[in-house]
Every structure is written in C-alpha cells, then in structure tokens.
C-alpha cells in the first residue's frame, strides 16, 4: 500500500482538488496560501498535458503582433505567484527568458518595426533589428528581434516539487478519483473517508469522464514536442520561427509544438516528429539529434477562455479548467479569482465564468 494512503484514513478539509496538473497544483497552493485545508487526488498518468508543457509565457500573439489576452494583468500576477512558490519550496523553476523572433519575410519585419512604436504592444517588442544572431548556426537572412517580458516555468520541476510537498504534508492521495464514490450533500461532499466543504475538479481534458461536468464545451487539442541535441547553439533565449526552440541546458532544446484536434491521446507519432524536425531544419543550419518526444492533450475551451466556477445545480462541486495552450500564464490569476469567489463571494469575470455555458447543462 503506498504510504500516502495510511495518512488519509480520515480527513476533514475545506476543499478536495481532483488533478495535480498545472491547474490543480496552482489552485492548491493558492488555497493553502489563503489558510485553507486541501487534499489533492491525482493519478499522474491519466493526462500528460502539464508534464510535456514547455512552460513558455509569451506576452505576444505573433501572427497579428498584438498582446495576448490580459497580458498586462497576467504578467505581474504570475511573476509574483511563481516567485512566492519558489520561496515557499526553496526551489528555482521560474525565469525571465527573452524570445527571439526570426523574420520570415520583409513584410513581417516592417510590421514589427511599426508595432514596436505603438503605445500598447510596443513595450513588449524590441526596437532594434539584429542581423547577426548566431550567424553560423541559425538561418537569419532578414534579421530578428526580441520579445521583452517573456518568461519560462520549468513545469516538470514545479509539479514534482509541489507533489513532494503535498506528500510530505499528507495532502495527496495517489489514485484515480472514483466518481461513483462521491456523495454530494447541500453543504458538503464526501469521497471515501474524506469530507470537504466543496470539491474542485481540475482533470484537464479528462473532464470528459466526469459525470457532473462532462457537458462543458472543451475543444481539446493534442500537442507534441521533441527534445533535441544541438551543439554550437549556446543561447539562453527561446528562438521562434514556425517552431519554438527552448534551451534546457547541456546542449538540449525542446522543440514544439504541433496541433491535432482529432487524435486525443498521449501517444507520440511519426507524423509530428517529422513535422517538427522539418521545421527545425529550416531554422538552424547545423545538424541535430532527436533524443526524446512527448505528447499531451491541451484542455482548450471552444471560446479559448478558462472555465471556472460552481456547478449550476450542485453548489458543492466546482471546476477549474479550460487553460488551453496557456496554463502557465492563466492559472495563477484565475486560481486567486476562484478562491475569492468561493470564500468571499467575489463575482467571477464573465469571460471565464462557467455560467456562460449553463444553457448546455
């Protein structure tokens, strides 16, 4: 019997959280910080999404060179959140990391220069065009420029360190949550021997198996990444052109990502491997070796906004989901918003409130 089971023979908490991906972990830490008692129930292998995330935090949408949704609010909030998490665990997993945008066409470069002078988005775009960025390694005939205020979370480490913390403090049950064992009352819930005021589901795309919330309109999208070895590219910046190339040390880089709305599973494919390798070979001039490949399914909502709040009928059941392609940026801010909603009745932003989909229930 795993040791986590012994400790939870009987437990009375404020919240049960189902899922310890980015959403569940960030929500649990937010609740702990607010003085609330939680138990997290998670079986790690049901969804690989968070475990394969590159962890990039990009304030810009490259196609249109506009700010990504709520960037100005999300950046300072997340930065504070991850710094606090680092201090809490005495670990390091969050860094500022510049993104280098390699231009594919002159038009794109001209558009960048124009946008870098604009009032709103300009502060995120460097004004200088650089022509000699890794001239012997990177294909860069038209030059490149930099995104300011981008950052990166080493997601695997973040999740693992929190998992260890939860285990040490007897807050984690390592098992598949059994929906048929959930007893829903008007003021509490019971799951086996755990009693809580409420339960919040954070199962990512696996919410499709949750009988209480399987009606929320997710449009999940599978993504794959490669780990490659590239010698002679000694940069600490993320390179972006059709793919991103994220340095992770020891000449290793994560190259991503693909988008597939059909095959919703965590299995890696040759098609994605070839696609990413081909794109990479157009960006760099030197050979590379593929040393790993991973896949996960992003829990995107049809309107690309988080889906959070309480069940329309059972007010002891809640959801924190729909983080889509941007869990690193979105989850800290909206975890706080959900906790304020649950504990202080503060209204949720309409754009993320599950109430917008209540007609589907």
Contacts of ligand FAD in 74-133 (CB under 6 A): none
C-alpha to C-alpha distance for 102 and 239, rounded to whole angstroms: 7
Residue 202 contacts ligand FAD per CB under 6 A: yes
User: How near is the Cβ of 131 to ligand FAD at its closest, in Å?
Assistant: 28
Residue 294 CB, nearest distance to ligand FAD (Å)?
Answer: 7
Q: Which of 39, 40, 47, 353 binds ligand FAD (CB under 6 A)?
A: 47
Site for ligand FAD in 130-189 (CB under 6 A): 176-177
Question: Strand 38-41 to strand 11-18: parallel, antiparallel, or no bridges (unpaired)?
Answer: parallel
Binding marks (x or -) toward ligand FAD, 275..314, rule CB under 6 A?
A: ---------------------x-xx---------------
Task: State which H helix or E strand residue 177 sits in.
Answer: none
Q: How many CB atoms lie within 10 A of CB 121?
A: 19
Apex CA 314: angle with CA 311 and CA 316, to 5°? 90
Kindly indicate which of the ranges 2-10, 16-24, 92-100, 129-137 contains the residues binding ligand FAD, using the contact rule CB under 6 A: 16-24
Work out whether 227 is an interface residue with ligand FAD (CB under 6 A).
Answer: no
- Closer residue to ligand FAD (CB): 56 or 337: 56
In angstroms, give the least distance from the CB of 5 to ligand FAD.
14
Going residue by residue from 232 to 271, which x/- string records binding to ligand FAD, judged by CB under 6 A?
------------------------xx--------------
Out of 13, 68, 198, 223, point to the residue binding ligand FAD (CB under 6 A): 223
The single residue among 17, 54, 144, 147 that binds ligand FAD, judged by CB under 6 A, is 54
Q: How far is CA 41 from the centre of its chain?
A: 19
Compute the distance between CA of residue 171 and CA of residue 184 in angstroms, rounded to an integer.
Answer: 21
55-74 positions binding ligand FAD, by CB under 6 A: 55-56
Min separation Cβ 141 and ligand FAD, Å: 27
Under rule CB under 6 A, how many of the chain's residues touch ligand FAD? 42
Q: Does 11 contact ligand FAD by CB under 6 A?
A: no
Let me know if 127 is exposed, middle or buried by CB neighbors in 10 A (0-12, 13-18, 19+): exposed
Shortest reach from residue 163's CB to ligand FAD, in Å: 10
Contact of 324 with 257, CB cutoff 8 Å: no
Q: Where are the alpha helices (DSSP H) in 284-352?
A: 327-344
Nearer to ligand FAD, 311 or 326 (CB): 326
Phi, then psi, of 15 in degrees rounded to 5: -135, 135
Residues ≥6 apart with Cβ < 8 Å to 242: 104, 279, 282, 283
How far apart are CB 43 and ligand FAD at their closest, in Å? 4
The one among 42, 108, 149, 353 contacting ligand FAD by CB under 6 A: 42
Structure tokens at 331: 């989850």
Considering only 64-72, 122-130, 317-325, 341-349, which stretch makes contact with ligand FAD by CB under 6 A?
A: 317-325
Task: Decide if 204 contacts 265 (C-beta within 8 A).
Answer: no
DSSP 97-158: --EEEE-SSHHHHHHHHHHHTSTTTGGGB-S--BS-TTTTTB--TT-EEEETT-EEE-HHHH
**200 binding ligand FAD? (CB under 6 A):** no
Residue 79: exposed, middle, or buried by beta-carbon count in 10 A (0-12, 13-18, 19+)?
middle
Where along the sequence are the contacts to ligand FAD (CB under 6 A)? 18-24, 41-44, 46-47, 49-50, 52-56, 176-177, 202-204, 206, 223-225, 256-257, 296, 298-299, 321, 323-329
């Amino acid at each position: 019997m795993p040791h986590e089971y012994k400790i939870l023979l009987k437990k009375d908490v404020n919240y049960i959280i189902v899922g310890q991906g980015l959403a569940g972990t960030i929500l649990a830490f937010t609740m702990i910080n607010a003085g609330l008692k939680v138990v997290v129930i998670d079986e790690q292998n049901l969804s690989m999404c968070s475990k394969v995330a590159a962890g990039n935090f990009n304030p810009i949408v490259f196609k249109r060179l506009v700010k990504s949704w709520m960037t100005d609010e999300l950046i300072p909030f997340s930065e504070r959140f991850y710094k606090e998490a680092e201090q809490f665990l005495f670990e390091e997993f969050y860094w500022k990391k510049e993104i280098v945008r390699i231009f594919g066409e002159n038009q794109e470069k001209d558009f960048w220069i124009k946008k870098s002078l604009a009032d709103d988005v300009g502060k995120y775009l460097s004004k200088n065009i650089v022509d000699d960025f890794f001239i012997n390694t990177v294909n860069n005939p038209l030059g490149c420029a930099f995104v300011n205020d981008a950052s990166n979370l080493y997601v695997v480490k973040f999740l693992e360190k929190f998992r260890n913390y939860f285990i040490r403090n007897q807050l984690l049950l390592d098992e598949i949550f059994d929906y048929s064992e959930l007893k829903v009352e008007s003021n509490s819930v019971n799951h086996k021997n755990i009693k809580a005021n409420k339960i919040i589901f954070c199962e990512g795309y696996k919410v499709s198996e949750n009988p209480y919330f399987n009606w929320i309109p997710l449009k999940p999208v599978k993504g794959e990444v490669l780990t490659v070895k590239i010698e002679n590219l000694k940069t600490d910046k993320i390179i972006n052109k059709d793919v991103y190339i994220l340095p992770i040390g020891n000449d290793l880089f994560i190259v991503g990502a693909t988008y597939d709305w059909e095959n919703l599973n965590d299995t890696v494919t040759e098609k994605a491997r070839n696609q990413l390798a081909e794109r990479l070979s157009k960006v760099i001039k030197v050979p590379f070796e593929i040393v790993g490949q991973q896949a996960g399914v992003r829990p995107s909502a049809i309107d690309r906004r988080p889906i959070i709040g309480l069940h329309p009928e059972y007010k002891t059941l809640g959801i924190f989901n729909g983080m889509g392609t941007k869990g690193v940026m979105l989850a800290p801010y909206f975890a706080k918003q959900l906790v304020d909603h649950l504990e202080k009745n503060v209204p949720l932003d309409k754009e993320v409130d599950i109430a917008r989909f209540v007609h589907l229930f």
